[in-house]
Structure 1
Amino acid sequence: MLITFKSKAAAEIVMYKEHARRILDLLHKDVEQGIITTAELPAAIASIEAAIAESKIHSVSTEVAHDVNMHHNATDDENEHEKPVTVSFATRAFPVLEMLQAAQKMQKDVVWGV
């Protein structure tokens, strides 16, 4: 399922619900439908910036890296896949953060699910 973030301050952002959920959980918002008002924007921006900074400190755990490497070094016929590239939280959250910053600058709300 997809989520579309909308604001009169920026272009729409379409994101998978599972990826948007982590961002919206930080803001204590429902993933199905919601609004970030102009009054909520400073705190929302600060929360996402803090989560991005935290995510950059902690790299992918060695367990996850080991599991990925084991799967892709298997001797069955699926071992010719390229290794998957992990997309960081910072990369996924950045477009939403930019939208929130633009919305704050122009004093516009951000909505989704409407």
Structure 2
Amino acid sequence: MLMTFKSRAAAEILMYREHAQRILDMLGKDVDQGVITVAELPAAIARLEKEIEASRAEARAHQAEEEAARDSFDKDDDDVAPVQSVSFATRAYPLLEMMRAALKEQLPVMWGV
């Protein structure tokens, strides 16, 4: 199911509920309906930035492990393409940008309304 994040400070953002839930859980918000008030935005932005950086560091470490494992296998397997996935940072970044714009404009971010 898709969710729509709204703020008059930015364009609407559509996100799958399962991906939005991780972000909203970390912010202590209900996934069905809610608001990040102007007063809550600085802490929410800091928390999301910290989580994005942690996920990027984890992805770099995971990539290094995969490359080391790939190097240890037979070179005949080079024609097998690695599995690509969308990172948490990539999924969360549009909402982070919306939150930054909302803070600048002193407007809330809402969903489920």
TM-score, length-normalised on structure 2?
0.80
Shift of 1:18: 0.3
Counterpart CA distance in 2 for 1:28 and 1:21 is 10
The runs of 5 or more residues in structure 2 that have no matched partner are: 67-80
The AA in structure 2 aligned to 1:100 is M
- The residue aligned with 2:16 is 16
1:30-70 per-residue CA deviation (whole Å, 9 max, x = no partner) reads 111000000000000000000001111112758xx7xxxxx
Aligned ranges for residues 1-114 of structure 1 at < 5 Å? 1-59=1-59, 61=62, 84-114=83-113
Shift of 1:87: 0.5
**Structure ranking higher in helix proportion:** 2
Aligned residues: 98
The AA in structure 1 aligned to 2:52 is I
Shift of 1:84: 4.1
- Percent of pairs identical after alignment? 60
- The residue aligned with 1:76 is none
Counterpart CA distance in 2 for 1:18 and 1:89 is 12
Shift of 1:83: 5.3
Shift of 1:102: 0.0
The runs of 5 or more residues in structure 1 that have no matched partner are: 66-81
Counterpart CA distance in 1 for 2:32 and 2:110 is 11
Counterpart CA distance in 1 for 2:9 and 2:28 is 22
TM-score, length-normalised on structure 1?
0.79
Runs of 4+ in 1 over 3 A off after TM superposition: none
CA RMSD of aligned residues (A): 1.9
The AA in structure 2 aligned to 1:108 is L
Give the SS at the match of 2:38: coil
Give the SS at the match of 2:4: strand
